[in-house]
């Protein structure tokens, strides 16, 4: 009984980490992470486009 009290939490943690690793591998192989940064790239391109069109305006009369 004492062995389970000592080894039990480590076994549970090991099984949980193996489960998380399996879910991650399944996600990678199924393509769940493909195109994950497309939204960030679209945002970046829009920001660069806005920066190009926003030219500083010279004050009138100077």
Q: What is the pLDDT of residues 14-62, one digit of tens each?
A: 999 999 999 999 999 999 888 888 888 999 999 988 888 776 666 666 5
Q: Is residue 10 part of a domain?
A: yes
Range of the domain at 11: 1-29
Q: Is residue 38 part of a domain?
A: no
Q: Is residue 37 part of a domain?
A: no
Q: Which pLDDT belongs to residue 4?
A: 79
Give 1-62 as a DSSP string: -HHHHHHHHHHHHHHHHHHHHHHHHHHHHHTTTTTTTHHHHHHHHHHHHHHHH-PPPPPTT-
Q: Is residue 55 part of a domain?
A: no
Q: How many domains, in total, are found in the chain?
A: 1
Q: Is residue 22 part of a domain?
A: yes
Q: Is residue 5 part of a domain?
A: yes
């Amino acid at each position: 009984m004492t062995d389970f009290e000592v080894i039990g939490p480590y076994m549970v943690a090991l099984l949980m980490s193996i489960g998380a690793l399996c879910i991650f591998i399944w996600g990678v192989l199924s393509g769940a992470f493909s195109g994950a940064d497309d939204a960030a790239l679209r945002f970046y391109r829009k920001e660069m486009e806005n920066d190009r069109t926003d030219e500083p305006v010279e004050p009138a009369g100077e």
